[in-house]
Amino acid sequence: RRPPRSTPLYSSAASDVYKRQDLTVEAGDSLKFNASSLSVPSTCGSVTLNLKHGGKMPKTVMGHNWVLSKTADVGAIASDGIKAYTTSGRTIVVKENDGRVIAHTTLIGGGETTSITFSLDGLSASESYTFFCSFPGHAGLMRGAFTII
């Protein structure tokens, strides 16, 4: 008589679903995101942020991006973003390899969309995070809370 084959009740691959959360934020030809706060469950593995520019103005005039950082770093990142904008010939608004930036999209103008997928590894529900647009002059108004719940 053969020994019974051991069969797992369920596969661990199927039970450990690694979730990805999709978020969409829109802006137009004014200094305003359509969301003043965003939150994602801590059980999410990663987030895909879609940014849509529903306006008509070009990115050199009314460009938008979506940057995520600790709230305490927003001012310094925005300030370095203005320098990057100037030195890059108005093409980028985030300093290259800025370690304070958790995630950021490309800069877009009217009619364009962009997205960024990033991991929530290392982010904490007890930390204060802010999303903002780092186009020169926009961070003061285009910003909101990003919360891990």
53 binds Zn ion (CB under 5 A): no
Q: Please, what is the minimum distance in Å from the beta carbon of residue 106 to Zn ion? A: 12
Return all residues near 95 (Cβ < 8 A) that are at least 6 apart: 77, 80, 81, 83, 84
Q: Please, what is the minimum distance in Å from the beta carbon of residue 107 to Zn ion? A: 8
Q: Please, what is the minimum distance in Å from the beta carbon of residue 64 to Zn ion? A: 4
- Residues 96-100: contacts with CB within 8 Å, 24+ apart? 100/69, 100/70, 100/73, 100/76
Instruction: For Zn ion, give the closer residue by CB, 102 or 143.
Output: 143
Token pair, residue 143, equals 């910003």
101 binds Zn ion (CB under 5 A): no
64 binds Zn ion (CB under 5 A): yes
Contact region with Zn ion (CB under 5 A), list: 13-21, 60-68, 110-118, 119-127:
60-68
Q: Please, what is the minimum distance in Å from the beta carbon of residue 13 to Zn ion? A: 41
Q: Cα separation of 139 and 119, whole Å? A: 23
Among 135, 139, 143, 146, binds Zn ion (CB under 5 A): 135
37, 104 in Cβ contact below 8 A? no
133 binds Zn ion (CB under 5 A): yes
Q: Cα separation of 105 and 73, whole Å? A: 17
- Which residue's beta carbon is nearest to the bound Zn ion? 133
Interface with Zn ion by CB under 5 A: which residues?
A: 64, 133, 135, 138
